[in-house]
Amino acid sequence: MRAIPQVTIFYNYSGKTVASAGNPGGHAKIQNNSVVFPDLKSSNVCIPCHAGRGGSGPVITVYKNMGVDFSELTEVRNHDFTGAALLTSKSGYEFAGKEYVSGVGANTGHDTAGLVSGKGPCITCHMNKTVKSDSHTFKPVIHDTAQFTLYTSNRTWAQVYSVSSASPASLKIASVTSQSCNTSGCHINLDNTELNSDKEGYISALAVLNKWIRLVRYVPTNPLLPFNSTSNKARSTTNWTYLGTGTGPDLMGANFNHATLINEPGAYVHNPLYAKRLIYDSIYYLSTSTTNPALNTDGLSNTYQYPAVQQFNVADAIYFLTTTTDRTLETVGATSNVEVRALVTKQQAETAIKWLYGKTKASLDLAPADKLKRPGDI
Protein backbone atom coordinates (compact mmCIF):
# COMPACT_ATOMS: atom_id res chain seq x y z
CA MET A 1 0.00 0.00 0.00
CA ARG A 2 1.21 3.52 -0.69
CA ALA A 3 2.59 5.59 2.15
CA ILE A 4 0.23 8.21 3.58
CA PRO A 5 1.84 11.02 5.58
CA GLN A 6 0.97 11.76 9.19
CA VAL A 7 -2.08 14.00 9.49
CA THR A 8 -2.50 17.43 11.07
CA ILE A 9 -6.07 18.65 11.49
CA PHE A 10 -6.93 22.32 11.99
CA TYR A 11 -9.84 22.70 14.37
CA ASN A 12 -10.78 26.26 13.47
CA TYR A 13 -14.11 27.65 14.58
CA SER A 14 -16.28 30.69 14.10
CA GLY A 15 -19.03 31.44 16.59
CA LYS A 16 -21.11 34.32 17.86
CA THR A 17 -20.80 35.89 21.30
CA VAL A 18 -21.61 39.16 23.07
CA ALA A 19 -20.43 42.27 21.23
CA SER A 20 -18.01 44.56 23.03
CA ALA A 21 -15.99 47.70 22.39
CA GLY A 22 -13.04 45.61 21.25
CA ASN A 23 -15.24 43.16 19.33
CA PRO A 24 -18.25 45.09 18.00
CA GLY A 25 -19.29 42.25 15.72
CA GLY A 26 -19.41 39.73 18.55
CA HIS A 27 -17.19 37.31 16.64
CA ALA A 28 -15.67 34.28 18.39
CA LYS A 29 -13.08 33.00 15.96
CA ILE A 30 -10.39 30.38 16.42
CA GLN A 31 -7.79 30.11 13.68
CA ASN A 32 -4.75 27.89 13.05
CA ASN A 33 -5.69 25.59 15.94
CA SER A 34 -3.71 22.55 14.84
CA VAL A 35 -3.81 19.03 16.28
CA VAL A 36 -1.26 16.43 15.16
CA PHE A 37 -2.66 12.89 14.99
CA PRO A 38 -0.48 9.84 15.64
CA ASP A 39 0.92 8.16 12.55
CA LEU A 40 -1.59 5.44 11.65
CA LYS A 41 0.33 4.44 8.51
CA SER A 42 -1.94 3.81 5.51
CA SER A 43 -4.96 4.39 7.74
CA ASN A 44 -3.92 8.05 7.84
CA VAL A 45 -6.09 8.41 4.75
CA CYS A 46 -9.17 7.86 6.95
CA ILE A 47 -8.40 10.59 9.49
CA PRO A 48 -9.37 13.80 7.65
CA CYS A 49 -12.97 12.69 7.15
CA HIS A 50 -13.31 11.10 10.59
CA ALA A 51 -11.62 13.70 12.76
CA GLY A 52 -14.74 15.76 13.46
CA ARG A 53 -13.40 18.86 11.80
CA GLY A 54 -16.46 20.93 12.69
CA GLY A 55 -15.02 21.38 16.16
CA SER A 56 -13.46 19.54 19.06
CA GLY A 57 -13.53 19.52 22.83
CA PRO A 58 -10.29 21.53 23.00
CA VAL A 59 -11.99 24.33 21.02
CA ILE A 60 -14.14 25.01 24.09
CA THR A 61 -11.03 25.28 26.26
CA VAL A 62 -9.52 27.71 23.74
CA TYR A 63 -12.68 29.82 23.98
CA LYS A 64 -12.37 29.77 27.78
CA ASN A 65 -8.75 30.92 27.62
CA MET A 66 -9.76 33.67 25.16
CA GLY A 67 -12.20 35.05 27.74
CA VAL A 68 -15.23 34.51 25.50
CA ASP A 69 -18.58 35.26 27.17
CA PHE A 70 -20.38 31.92 27.62
CA SER A 71 -23.64 33.65 28.56
CA GLU A 72 -24.20 34.28 24.84
CA LEU A 73 -22.28 31.84 22.64
CA THR A 74 -23.27 29.58 19.77
CA GLU A 75 -22.88 25.86 20.32
CA VAL A 76 -19.63 24.06 19.41
CA ARG A 77 -20.32 20.77 17.62
CA ASN A 78 -18.35 18.10 15.79
CA HIS A 79 -19.00 16.67 12.37
CA ASP A 80 -20.60 13.22 12.59
CA PHE A 81 -18.73 9.88 12.69
CA THR A 82 -15.58 11.04 14.46
CA GLY A 83 -14.12 7.54 14.70
CA ALA A 84 -10.50 8.55 14.14
CA ALA A 85 -10.66 11.33 16.73
CA LEU A 86 -12.27 9.04 19.33
CA LEU A 87 -9.85 6.19 18.56
CA THR A 88 -6.89 8.46 19.27
CA SER A 89 -8.48 10.39 22.19
CA LYS A 90 -8.45 13.71 20.33
CA SER A 91 -12.07 14.74 20.15
CA GLY A 92 -13.78 14.87 23.54
CA TYR A 93 -14.13 17.72 26.01
CA GLU A 94 -11.91 16.69 28.91
CA PHE A 95 -12.73 18.15 32.31
CA ALA A 96 -9.87 19.91 34.08
CA GLY A 97 -7.86 17.73 36.44
CA LYS A 98 -9.21 14.46 35.01
CA GLU A 99 -7.15 11.76 33.30
CA TYR A 100 -8.48 10.07 30.17
CA VAL A 101 -5.96 7.73 28.54
CA SER A 102 -4.75 5.31 31.22
CA GLY A 103 -6.46 2.88 33.56
CA VAL A 104 -8.01 -0.57 33.48
CA GLY A 105 -9.24 -1.16 29.94
CA ALA A 106 -7.22 1.63 28.33
CA ASN A 107 -4.94 -0.64 26.31
CA THR A 108 -7.29 -2.21 23.77
CA GLY A 109 -4.69 -2.37 21.03
CA HIS A 110 -7.25 -0.92 18.63
CA ASP A 111 -5.21 2.22 17.96
CA THR A 112 -2.03 0.26 17.24
CA ALA A 113 -3.50 -2.59 15.19
CA GLY A 114 -1.81 -2.94 11.81
CA LEU A 115 1.01 -0.48 12.46
CA VAL A 116 3.64 -3.17 11.90
CA SER A 117 2.11 -4.27 8.61
CA GLY A 118 1.74 -0.65 7.53
CA LYS A 119 -2.02 -0.88 7.09
CA GLY A 120 -2.90 0.81 10.36
CA PRO A 121 -5.97 0.19 12.54
CA CYS A 122 -8.78 1.44 10.28
CA ILE A 123 -7.84 -0.73 7.31
CA THR A 124 -6.90 -3.70 9.50
CA CYS A 125 -10.25 -3.82 11.32
CA HIS A 126 -12.71 -2.48 8.75
CA MET A 127 -11.39 -3.98 5.50
CA ASN A 128 -10.17 -7.47 6.45
CA LYS A 129 -13.13 -9.53 5.18
CA THR A 130 -13.38 -13.13 4.01
CA VAL A 131 -14.88 -11.96 0.72
CA LYS A 132 -12.47 -9.28 -0.42
CA SER A 133 -15.09 -7.40 -2.41
CA ASP A 134 -16.98 -6.88 0.85
CA SER A 135 -14.09 -4.91 2.32
CA HIS A 136 -15.34 -1.70 0.74
CA THR A 137 -18.47 -1.75 2.86
CA PHE A 138 -16.02 -0.77 5.64
CA LYS A 139 -18.19 -2.67 8.14
CA PRO A 140 -16.49 -5.07 10.57
CA VAL A 141 -19.93 -6.32 11.65
CA ILE A 142 -23.32 -7.07 10.10
CA HIS A 143 -26.21 -5.23 11.71
CA ASP A 144 -29.44 -6.98 12.55
CA THR A 145 -32.75 -5.51 11.41
CA ALA A 146 -33.90 -5.47 15.04
CA GLN A 147 -33.45 -2.47 17.30
CA PHE A 148 -32.70 -2.56 21.00
CA THR A 149 -35.84 -2.85 23.13
CA LEU A 150 -37.45 0.38 24.28
CA TYR A 151 -38.94 -1.09 27.51
CA THR A 152 -41.76 1.44 27.26
CA SER A 153 -44.81 1.79 25.06
CA ASN A 154 -45.44 5.53 25.14
CA ARG A 155 -42.18 7.03 23.92
CA THR A 156 -40.32 7.01 20.61
CA TRP A 157 -36.83 5.68 20.04
CA ALA A 158 -35.24 9.14 20.04
CA GLN A 159 -37.08 10.11 23.22
CA VAL A 160 -35.79 7.03 25.01
CA TYR A 161 -32.25 6.68 23.71
CA SER A 162 -31.47 10.16 22.29
CA VAL A 163 -29.97 8.63 19.14
CA SER A 164 -31.80 8.55 15.82
CA SER A 165 -33.75 5.41 14.98
CA ALA A 166 -32.08 5.63 11.56
CA SER A 167 -28.59 5.47 13.09
CA PRO A 168 -26.55 2.25 13.17
CA ALA A 169 -26.42 2.86 16.93
CA SER A 170 -30.06 1.77 17.17
CA LEU A 171 -29.49 -1.65 15.60
CA LYS A 172 -28.37 -4.84 17.26
CA ILE A 173 -25.33 -6.62 15.84
CA ALA A 174 -26.00 -9.91 14.06
CA SER A 175 -22.43 -11.12 13.53
CA VAL A 176 -18.76 -10.16 13.48
CA THR A 177 -17.32 -10.28 9.95
CA SER A 178 -13.87 -8.73 10.33
CA GLN A 179 -11.21 -11.42 10.31
CA SER A 180 -8.99 -9.23 12.47
CA CYS A 181 -11.16 -9.39 15.60
CA ASN A 182 -10.73 -12.99 16.70
CA THR A 183 -6.97 -13.33 16.38
CA SER A 184 -4.20 -14.09 18.86
CA GLY A 185 -3.28 -10.41 19.00
CA CYS A 186 -6.79 -9.14 19.71
CA HIS A 187 -9.89 -10.98 20.97
CA ILE A 188 -10.79 -14.59 21.61
CA ASN A 189 -14.26 -15.69 20.53
CA LEU A 190 -15.64 -12.16 20.29
CA ASP A 191 -19.28 -12.47 19.23
CA ASN A 192 -22.40 -10.41 18.82
CA THR A 193 -23.63 -11.20 22.35
CA GLU A 194 -20.69 -9.39 23.94
CA LEU A 195 -20.85 -6.52 21.49
CA ASN A 196 -24.60 -6.05 21.94
CA SER A 197 -24.20 -5.94 25.71
CA ASP A 198 -21.59 -3.20 25.42
CA LYS A 199 -23.54 -1.34 22.75
CA GLU A 200 -26.75 -1.28 24.80
CA GLY A 201 -24.76 -0.02 27.79
CA TYR A 202 -23.23 2.71 25.65
CA ILE A 203 -26.47 4.05 24.20
CA SER A 204 -28.18 3.75 27.60
CA ALA A 205 -25.42 5.83 29.24
CA LEU A 206 -25.84 8.42 26.48
CA ALA A 207 -29.58 8.50 27.17
CA VAL A 208 -28.85 9.29 30.82
CA LEU A 209 -26.40 12.03 29.87
CA ASN A 210 -29.01 13.50 27.52
CA LYS A 211 -31.56 13.71 30.35
CA TRP A 212 -29.13 15.50 32.68
CA ILE A 213 -28.19 17.99 29.96
CA ARG A 214 -31.85 18.68 29.30
CA LEU A 215 -32.55 19.17 33.01
CA VAL A 216 -30.14 22.11 32.87
CA ARG A 217 -30.75 23.54 29.39
CA TYR A 218 -34.28 22.58 28.32
CA VAL A 219 -36.39 23.86 31.20
CA PRO A 220 -38.20 27.13 32.01
CA THR A 221 -36.12 30.10 33.17
CA ASN A 222 -37.29 29.24 36.67
CA PRO A 223 -37.60 25.45 36.47
CA LEU A 224 -39.37 25.32 39.85
CA LEU A 225 -42.43 26.97 38.27
CA PRO A 226 -44.53 25.85 35.27
CA PHE A 227 -43.57 26.99 31.80
CA ASN A 228 -45.27 30.17 30.61
CA SER A 229 -44.54 31.67 27.21
CA THR A 230 -44.68 35.18 28.67
CA SER A 231 -43.55 35.13 32.29
CA ASN A 232 -41.46 31.95 32.48
CA LYS A 233 -40.04 31.27 29.04
CA ALA A 234 -37.70 28.47 28.03
CA ARG A 235 -34.05 29.04 28.87
CA SER A 236 -31.89 30.39 26.07
CA THR A 237 -29.91 27.65 24.31
CA THR A 238 -26.99 30.05 23.72
CA ASN A 239 -26.53 30.71 27.45
CA TRP A 240 -24.18 28.19 29.09
CA THR A 241 -23.93 29.75 32.57
CA TYR A 242 -27.00 28.19 34.18
CA LEU A 243 -24.89 26.49 36.86
CA GLY A 244 -23.26 29.76 37.95
CA THR A 245 -20.46 32.13 37.04
CA GLY A 246 -17.55 30.44 35.27
CA THR A 247 -19.43 27.20 34.59
CA GLY A 248 -20.10 27.84 30.90
CA PRO A 249 -17.18 25.85 29.43
CA ASP A 250 -18.03 22.70 31.39
CA LEU A 251 -21.74 22.82 30.54
CA MET A 252 -20.91 23.34 26.87
CA GLY A 253 -18.33 20.57 27.17
CA ALA A 254 -20.82 18.07 28.59
CA ASN A 255 -23.25 18.97 25.82
CA PHE A 256 -20.45 18.62 23.25
CA ASN A 257 -19.54 15.14 24.52
CA HIS A 258 -23.13 13.96 24.14
CA ALA A 259 -23.54 15.49 20.68
CA THR A 260 -20.27 13.92 19.52
CA LEU A 261 -20.90 10.44 20.90
CA ILE A 262 -24.49 10.01 19.73
CA ASN A 263 -23.12 10.47 16.21
CA GLU A 264 -20.18 8.09 16.71
CA PRO A 265 -21.91 4.70 17.07
CA GLY A 266 -18.63 2.76 17.29
CA ALA A 267 -17.01 4.65 20.19
CA TYR A 268 -17.77 1.80 22.62
CA VAL A 269 -15.42 -0.36 20.52
CA HIS A 270 -12.96 2.18 19.12
CA ASN A 271 -11.93 3.55 22.52
CA PRO A 272 -14.25 2.29 25.26
CA LEU A 273 -12.50 3.75 28.32
CA TYR A 274 -12.22 7.19 26.73
CA ALA A 275 -15.93 7.13 25.81
CA LYS A 276 -16.88 5.96 29.30
CA ARG A 277 -14.90 8.68 31.03
CA LEU A 278 -16.29 11.41 28.78
CA ILE A 279 -19.84 10.30 29.61
CA TYR A 280 -19.16 9.62 33.30
CA ASP A 281 -17.44 12.96 33.94
CA SER A 282 -20.18 14.83 32.07
CA ILE A 283 -22.94 13.18 34.13
CA TYR A 284 -20.97 13.75 37.33
CA TYR A 285 -20.51 17.43 36.60
CA LEU A 286 -24.15 18.03 35.70
CA SER A 287 -25.69 16.03 38.54
CA THR A 288 -23.41 17.08 41.42
CA SER A 289 -22.92 20.78 40.64
CA THR A 290 -24.53 23.29 42.97
CA THR A 291 -25.51 26.84 42.18
CA ASN A 292 -25.03 29.92 44.31
CA PRO A 293 -28.43 31.21 45.53
CA ALA A 294 -26.83 34.58 46.30
CA LEU A 295 -26.58 35.19 42.55
CA ASN A 296 -30.36 35.02 42.23
CA THR A 297 -31.15 38.68 42.76
CA ASP A 298 -34.13 39.11 40.44
CA GLY A 299 -36.14 35.99 41.24
CA LEU A 300 -35.83 34.72 37.67
CA SER A 301 -32.11 34.48 37.03
CA ASN A 302 -30.54 31.27 35.79
CA THR A 303 -29.17 30.09 39.12
CA TYR A 304 -31.76 27.68 40.43
CA GLN A 305 -30.47 24.29 41.48
CA TYR A 306 -32.47 21.85 39.38
CA PRO A 307 -33.32 19.16 40.07
CA ALA A 308 -33.67 20.35 43.65
CA VAL A 309 -32.24 17.05 44.92
CA GLN A 310 -28.48 17.27 44.41
CA GLN A 311 -26.69 14.03 43.52
CA PHE A 312 -23.31 12.91 44.90
CA ASN A 313 -22.21 10.14 42.52
CA VAL A 314 -22.96 8.96 39.01
CA ALA A 315 -24.59 5.63 39.90
CA ASP A 316 -27.20 7.31 42.10
CA ALA A 317 -27.63 10.12 39.56
CA ILE A 318 -28.47 7.52 36.93
CA TYR A 319 -30.99 5.70 39.10
CA PHE A 320 -32.54 8.98 40.23
CA LEU A 321 -33.91 9.31 36.70
CA THR A 322 -36.02 6.14 37.05
CA THR A 323 -38.41 7.82 39.48
CA THR A 324 -37.91 11.59 39.11
CA THR A 325 -40.87 13.90 38.76
CA ASP A 326 -38.64 16.69 37.41
CA ARG A 327 -39.55 17.79 33.92
CA THR A 328 -37.92 19.07 30.76
CA LEU A 329 -39.39 21.00 27.84
CA GLU A 330 -39.88 18.79 24.80
CA THR A 331 -41.57 18.92 21.41
CA VAL A 332 -44.45 16.44 21.33
CA GLY A 333 -45.99 16.08 17.90
CA ALA A 334 -46.18 19.62 16.56
CA THR A 335 -46.33 21.23 20.00
CA SER A 336 -43.17 22.71 21.49
CA ASN A 337 -42.33 23.37 25.14
CA VAL A 338 -44.41 20.51 26.53
CA GLU A 339 -43.29 19.60 30.07
CA VAL A 340 -42.29 15.92 30.16
CA ARG A 341 -40.84 13.90 33.05
CA ALA A 342 -37.09 13.28 32.55
CA LEU A 343 -37.37 9.53 32.99
CA VAL A 344 -35.21 6.61 31.88
CA THR A 345 -36.32 3.01 32.25
CA LYS A 346 -34.84 0.81 34.97
CA GLN A 347 -33.39 -1.42 32.28
CA GLN A 348 -31.54 1.56 30.79
CA ALA A 349 -30.30 2.62 34.22
CA GLU A 350 -29.06 -0.86 35.13
CA THR A 351 -27.41 -1.32 31.73
CA ALA A 352 -25.72 2.10 31.81
CA ILE A 353 -24.36 1.49 35.33
CA LYS A 354 -23.02 -1.95 34.37
CA TRP A 355 -21.26 -0.56 31.28
CA LEU A 356 -19.74 2.46 33.03
CA TYR A 357 -18.68 0.77 36.27
CA GLY A 358 -18.24 -2.85 35.23
CA LYS A 359 -20.47 -3.71 38.20
CA THR A 360 -24.19 -4.03 38.76
CA LYS A 361 -26.15 -1.50 40.79
CA ALA A 362 -26.73 -4.18 43.45
CA SER A 363 -22.96 -4.72 43.78
CA LEU A 364 -22.33 -0.99 44.05
CA ASP A 365 -25.01 -0.64 46.73
CA LEU A 366 -23.04 -3.16 48.80
CA ALA A 367 -19.80 -1.19 48.28
CA PRO A 368 -20.91 2.48 48.14
CA ALA A 369 -17.33 3.81 48.00
CA ASP A 370 -17.03 2.28 44.52
CA LYS A 371 -19.74 4.64 43.26
CA LEU A 372 -17.17 7.44 43.35
CA LYS A 373 -14.64 5.54 41.24
CA ARG A 374 -14.36 6.52 37.60
CA PRO A 375 -14.38 3.92 34.80
CA GLY A 376 -10.99 2.24 34.69
CA ASP A 377 -10.37 2.86 38.40
CA ILE A 378 -12.26 -0.22 39.63
pLDDT digits (tens, 9 = 90+) for 25-40: 778 888 888 889 999 9
The confidence score (pLDDT) of residue 297 equals 45
> pLDDT band at 211, cuts 50/70/90?
very high
The 10s digit of each residue's pLDDT in 151-176 is 776 677 777 777 777 788 888 999 99
Please name the residues in contact with 348: beta carbons below 8 A apart, sequence gap of 6 or more.
151, 160, 161, 204, 207, 208
Residue 206 has phi, psi (to 5 degrees) of -65, -35
> What is the pLDDT, as a whole number, of residue 21?
74
* Stronger pLDDT, 55 or 359, i.e. the higher one: 359
Q: Over 90: is that where the pLDDT of 276 sits?
A: yes
CA angle 107, 111, 116 (to 5 degrees): 110
Above 50 in pLDDT, residue 48?
Answer: yes
Question: Minimum mean pLDDT among 49-53, 103-107, 212-216, 283-287: which range?
Answer: 49-53
Least confident stretch, 60-74, 110-124, 188-202, 252-266: 60-74
Cβ atoms of 259 and 270 within 8 Å: the answer is no
Across 14-30, average pLDDT? 79
Lowest mean pLDDT among 9-23, 52-66, 153-167: 153-167
Mean pLDDT over 284-296 rounds to 70
> What was the pLDDT predicted at 344?
92
Return left, alpha or beta for 64; rule: phi > 0 is left, psi -120 to 50 is alpha, else beta: alpha
Residue 84 backbone dihedrals phi, psi, to 5 degrees = -65, -40
CA distance 360 to 319: 12
Residue 306, number of CB atoms within 10 A of its CB: 20
68, 27 contact by CB (below 8 A)? no
CA gap 273, 338 in Å, rounded: 36
pLDDT digits (tens, 9 = 90+) for 338-373: 999 999 999 999 999 999 999 999 999 999 999 999
The pLDDT score that the predictor gives to residue 343 is 92
Which pLDDT does position 279 carry in this prediction? 98
pLDDT for 295 equals: 44
371: left (phi over 0), alpha (psi -120 to 50) or beta: alpha
Dihedral angle of Cα 147, 153, 158, 162, to the nearest 10 degrees: -90
8 A C-beta contact, residue 92 and residue 274: yes
**Cα Rg for the chain, rounded, in angstroms?**
21
Percent of the chain with pLDDT over 90: 56
Average pLDDT over residues 78-105: 92
DSSP state of 171: E
Cα 31 from chain centroid (whole Å): 25
Task: Report the pLDDT averaged over residues 213-237.
Answer: 91
Question: Could you tell me if residue 109 is left (phi over 0), alpha (psi between -120 and 50 degrees) or otherwise beta?
Answer: left
* Residue type at 256 in one-letter notation: F
Averaged confidence pLDDT in the chain: 87
What's the pLDDT at 154? Answer: 65
Q: How far is it, in rounded angstroms, from Cα 251 to Cα 132?
A: 46
Identify the band that residue 193 occupies on the pLDDT scale cut at 50, 70 and 90.
very high
For residue 294, name the pLDDT band (cuts at 50, 70, 90): very low
Q: Once rounded to an integer, what is the mean pLDDT over residues 107-121?
A: 93
The residue extents of the domains of the chain are: 8-372
CA distance 121 to 111: 6
Handedness of CA 303, 309, 311, 317 (dihedral sign): negative
Q: List all residues 6 or more positions away from 89 whose beta carbon is below 8 Å from its beta carbon.
A: 100, 101, 271, 274
Distance CA 159, CA 336 (A): 14
The reported pLDDT for the residue numbered 378 is 67
Q: Which of 97-111, 195-209, 281-295, 299-313 has the lowest mean pLDDT?
A: 299-313
